[in-house]
Amino acid sequence: MGIQADVIVIGGGSTGTGVARDLALRGLKPLLLEKGDFANGATGACQGLLHSGCRYVVSDPQSAWECYSENRILRRIASSCVEETEGLFVSLGEDGLAYQEEFVARCNTIGIPVEVLSPESTLALEPALSHEVISAVRVPDASINPFTLAVENANSAETRGGKRMTHCRITGFIVEAGRVKGVQAVNVRTGEPFEACAEFVVNATGAWAGQMVGLVGLSIPMVYSKGSILVTSRRVTEMVVNRCRRPSDGDIVVPHETTGLIGTTSVQVADPEGLTVEPQEIRLLVTETAKMVPSVASARLIRAFAGVRPLFGEAGTDNDREISRGFLVIDHEEGDGIGGLVSVVGGKLATYRLMAEKTVDVVCKRLGWSATCTTHLEPLTGPQRRGFVSLADRLAKTAPERRRDGQDGTIVCECELVTQREIEEVASAEDAPDLDSIRIRTRMGTGPCQGAFCAYRALGILERRGKVDDDPCPNVMLKMFLEHRWQGIRPILEGDQLREEELVHAIYGGIFNLHKSGERLKGAP
Ligand SMILES: Cc1cc2nc3c(=O)[nH]c(=O)nc-3n(C[C@H](O)[C@H](O)[C@H](O)COP(=O)(O)OP(=O)(O)OC[C@H]3O[C@@H](n4cnc5c(N)ncnc54)[C@H](O)[C@@H]3O)c2cc1C
């Protein structure tokens, strides 16, 4: 017999994990299924900006309002994922002030609190900015960690009786008499197929939502808008910095944990898989953002990555940035005549909670379940932070008391000051942890060395806890992790990062003889 749940949620991004949490808080038992690990799609590839809504005030006031009201809620309920950086919309000489005037007027109409600053006050707040700044608007932007957000939502759902299964890909739907009764899936790691049944299925697969409903012969018009982002080895600003103009390429810099995220581009692609960051995108991002923050031009890039915005609309639209960042909940019983299935598409990470609320409202109505949403009130309880090194310590690279703290306080990842205790906690909390699941839960391997020294140490910890299969062999897990790191390093390989990569090659190719240990890896994506 297959697995049973009240509601199956497909997709472990911010939306799917948010839906699972909302269902669980309303007393339903969700089963969350994700083909990779949490934040495997756009969620893990986003710029981590908790929008104040200001970016959309001129082009999309409805989305602007949604972002602003959710921004206020998330600061309250998801404080362990949010850093209160504030933000600036800066105008350079070449921009003039016409857009700023309209921008401020719209913010006032919507009710987003903003303050216009002189160049002097702007530079006093954010000294990394160019002296070409002629004015700036201070806004309630913030920085948010999308990995922690998704993991905490999933954990919260599980604490309330939900189940989650990562590395399980949905391959089909079970349909009886015009109603979806469950899903067919395969465990990606073992190749084992299985079925799961439920009263209702939620399709929260972001850019894959159209492909997903294609499995029951339906379609959803989607535009795949690829965006690329560069990661700097340190923060280049302490505040979120936006260019005060209509949304365009290379106009946002976000301080993200110990790094800076430089973004983004917008290029329509035919498929949400197999994304690459092109050299011209890297040049464009550096050139444009360096106009606002000159140190970007000489900053050390440690990584580049791309994701696809799950936009609802018809392909062929010339400018993806004109497509609304609003979201849509589609009850497939209404227009398509297929019961028991709802899709949620579009939106932003910043509005994931509202998207989840509206989706679960539809599910509850269909199921005749009267509980109301409480996710705007109940804080997400963070992971046990005891023993974790704070962001302030990581920025200052100081954790001396923890270095002396005996065995489990030992630092395993020196770039991000991840302790052995953190890795032990992930290893015991997850059924089948690998090095990437440790990375997304702790930031191990995300600093300048990109895993050169911590990957084999963490593998040793997993091995000692019996979490590594002997077949094919522990080195396969190591190689998969390093290959994933390599995909993001390759586009930006020059200067110090090239030297760093030579060292990685010497360690893993030379000492571990890794390039000889197996051809195509079992379970590799
Ligand atoms: C470059 C870029 C920058 C962005 N920056 C920001 C930002 O700063 N702030 C902001 O608010 N928003 C930002 N966004 C938008 C935001 O990232 C997305 O709107 C949001 O993360 C979408 O979340 P989601 O859960 O709906 O989709 P996703 O995160 O894509 O999740 C969908 C999940 O479904 C899974 N899945 C797909 N098919 C299957 C299957 N067959 N079986 C099982 N699972 C499956 C995928 O693996 C994936 O994990 C950005 C987007 C991009 C691309």
Rounded to the nearest angstrom, the distance between the alpha carbon of 42 and the centre of ligand 1 is 3
pLDDT at 397 > cutoff 90? no
pLDDT at residue 387, rounded to an integer: 47
Element (H, E) at 153: helix 146-159
Ligand 1 atom nearest to CA at 44: 29
Residue 347 lies in a domain: no
Residue 485 lies in a domain: yes
Domain end point (choices 314, 333, 353):
314
Residue 272 lies in a domain: yes
Residue of 31, 32, 47 to mutate, ligand 1, most atoms within 8 A of C-beta: 47
Query: Residue 355 and residue 13: Cα distance in Å, rounded?
Result: 12
Residue 72 lies in a domain: no
Judge contact between 262 and 230, C-beta under 8 A. Answer: yes
pLDDT at 391 > cutoff 50? yes
Ligand 1 atom nearest to CA at 307: 53
User: Any idea which of 44-48, 115-119, 249-253, 397-401 has the lowest mean pLDDT?
Assistant: 397-401
Note whether 109 and 229 are same-domain residues: yes
pLDDT at residue 386, rounded to an integer: 44
Which tokens is 486 given? Answer: 């390599």
- Looking at ligand 1, which residue's alpha carbon is closest to its atom 37? 205
- Looking at ligand 1, which residue's alpha carbon is closest to its atom 19? 348
| Mean pLDDT confidence for 293-299 | 97
Rounded to the nearest angstrom, the distance between the alpha carbon of 178 and the centre of ligand 1 is 29
* R_g of the chain, CA atoms, integer Å: 23
Rounded to the nearest angstrom, the distance between the alpha carbon of 446 and the centre of ligand 1 is 20
Give the percent of the chain with pLDDT over 90.
78
Note whether 132 and 249 are same-domain residues: yes
pLDDT at residue 507, rounded to an integer: 87
Query: Residue 164 and residue 430: Cα distance in Å, rounded?
Result: 11
Query: Residue 220 and residue 225: Cα distance in Å, rounded?
Result: 15
Element (H, E) at 412: strand 411-413
Rounded to the nearest angstrom, the distance between the alpha carbon of 129 and the centre of ligand 1 is 31
pLDDT at residue 25, rounded to an integer: 98
pLDDT band of 519, cuts 50, 70, 90: very low
pLDDT at residue 325, rounded to an integer: 80
Judge contact between 200 and 366, C-beta under 8 A. Answer: yes
DSSP assignment string, 77-93? HTTTTEE---EEEEEEG
Query: Quick check: bond before 310 cis, omega within 30?
Result: no
pLDDT at 521 > cutoff 90? no
pTM score: 0.95
Using alpha carbons only, give the angle 453, 454, 460 rounded to the nearest 5 degrees.
Answer: 115
pLDDT at 230 > cutoff 90? yes
- Looking at ligand 1, which residue's alpha carbon is closest to its atom 15? 348
Note whether 120 and 251 are same-domain residues: yes
Rounded to the nearest angstrom, the distance between the alpha carbon of 500 and the centre of ligand 1 is 30
Domain end point (choices 263, 284, 314):
314
Residue 378 lies in a domain: no
pLDDT at residue 323, rounded to an integer: 76
pLDDT at residue 520, rounded to an integer: 44
Phi and psi of 39, rounded to 5°?
60, 35
Rounded to the nearest angstrom, the distance between the alpha carbon of 352 and the centre of ligand 1 is 10
Tens-digit pLDDT profile for residues 439-487 = 999 999 999 899 999 999 999 999 988 888 776 677 788 888 999 999 9
Note whether 508 and 398 are same-domain residues: yes
Note whether 396 and 292 are same-domain residues: no
Where helices occur in 182-278 by DSSP H, the ranges are 209-214
According to DSSP, the residues that pair with 243 across neighbouring strands are 90
Judge contact between 416 and 258, C-beta under 8 A. Answer: yes
Tens-digit pLDDT profile for residues 76-89 = 999 999 999 999 99
Comparison of pLDDT for 383 and 477, the residue scoring more? 477
Rounded to the nearest angstrom, the distance between the alpha carbon of 37 and the centre of ligand 1 is 12
Judge contact between 432 and 189, C-beta under 8 A. Answer: yes
Cα–Cα nearest to 142, from 72, 236, 44 = 72
Residue 39 lies in a domain: no
Residue of 9, 37, 43, 323 to mutate, ligand 1, most atoms within 8 A of C-beta: 43
Non-local (6+) Cβ contacts of 45 within 8 A are: 227, 229, 305, 306, 307, 308
Note whether 396 and 310 are same-domain residues: no
Residue 112 lies in a domain: yes
pLDDT at residue 509, rounded to an integer: 83
**In Å, how far are 133, 391, 476, 492, 501 from 498, measured between CA atoms?**
34, 27, 24, 9, 5
User: Which CATH number belongs to the domain containing residue 128 in this structure?
Assistant: 3.30.9.10
User: Any idea which of 38-42, 162-166, 346-350, 430-434 has the lowest mean pLDDT?
Assistant: 430-434
Widest CA span in the chain: 69
Cα–Cα nearest to 219, from 318, 311, 332, 327 = 332
pLDDT at residue 430, rounded to an integer: 86
According to DSSP, the residues that pair with 200 across neighbouring strands are 7
Rounded to the nearest angstrom, the distance between the alpha carbon of 11 and the centre of ligand 1 is 9
Query: Quick check: bond before 109 cis, omega within 30?
Result: no
Rounded to the nearest angstrom, the distance between the alpha carbon of 16 and the centre of ligand 1 is 9
Note whether 310 and 401 are same-domain residues: no
DSSP assignment string, 283-306? HHHHHHHHHHSGGGGGPPEEEEEE
Rounded to the nearest angstrom, the distance between the alpha carbon of 461 and the centre of ligand 1 is 31
pLDDT at 384 > cutoff 60? no
Q: What is the chain's mean pLDDT, rounded?
A: 91
Residue 296 lies in a domain: yes
Rounded to the nearest angstrom, the distance between the alpha carbon of 121 and the centre of ligand 1 is 37
pLDDT at residue 472, rounded to an integer: 63
List pocket residues of ligand 1, CB cut-off 6 Å. Answer: 10-16, 33-36, 40-43, 45-49, 51, 169-170, 204-208, 227, 229, 263-264, 307-310, 347-350
pLDDT at 523 > cutoff 80? no
pLDDT at residue 360, rounded to an integer: 98
Tens-digit pLDDT profile for residues 263-285 = 999 999 999 999 999 999 999 99
Rounded to the nearest angstrom, the distance between the alpha carbon of 347 and the centre of ligand 1 is 10
Note whether 416 and 309 are same-domain residues: no
Pairing of the two strands 49-50 and 142-144:
antiparallel
Note whether 290 and 407 are same-domain residues: no
pLDDT at residue 154, rounded to an integer: 97
DSSP at 8: E
Note whether 411 and 308 are same-domain residues: no
Amino acid symbol at 405:
D
* Residue 262 falls in which region: left (phi positive, over 0), alpha (psi -120 to 50) or beta: beta
pLDDT at 522 > cutoff 70? no
pLDDT at 1 > cutoff 60? no
User: Any idea which of 207-211, 212-216, 378-382, 517-521 has the lowest mean pLDDT?
Assistant: 517-521
Tens-digit pLDDT profile for residues 128-166 = 999 999 999 999 999 999 999 999 999 999 999 999 999
Judge contact between 338 and 216, C-beta under 8 A. Answer: yes
Where helices occur in 377-517 by DSSP H, the ranges are 391-396, 400-403, 420-429, 435-442, 454-464, 474-489, 495-505
Phi and psi of 332, rounded to 5°?
-70, -10
Residue of 19, 52, 205, 277 to mutate, ligand 1, most atoms within 8 A of C-beta: 205
Q: How many domains does the chain have?
A: 2
- Looking at ligand 1, which residue's alpha carbon is closest to its atom 10? 349
pLDDT band of 126, cuts 50, 70, 90: very high
Query: Residue 214 and residue 220: Cα distance in Å, rounded?
Result: 8
Residue of 225, 309, 329 to mutate, ligand 1, most atoms within 8 A of C-beta: 309
Query: Residue 491 and residue 496: Cα distance in Å, rounded?
Result: 14
Residue of 46, 75, 253, 330 to mutate, ligand 1, most atoms within 8 A of C-beta: 46
Comparison of pLDDT for 435 and 398, the residue scoring more? 435
Domain that residue 229 falls in: 82-141+223-314
pLDDT at residue 315, rounded to an integer: 65
Residue of 348, 358, 359 to mutate, ligand 1, most atoms within 8 A of C-beta: 348
pLDDT band of 29, cuts 50, 70, 90: very high
Domain end point (choices 295, 314, 333):
314
Residues 431-436: contacts with CB under 8 Å, at least 24 apart: 432/167, 432/189, 432/467, 433/462, 433/467, 434/462, 434/477, 434/480, 434/481, 435/459, 435/462, 435/477, 435/478, 435/480, 435/481, 436/37, 436/480, 436/481, 436/484
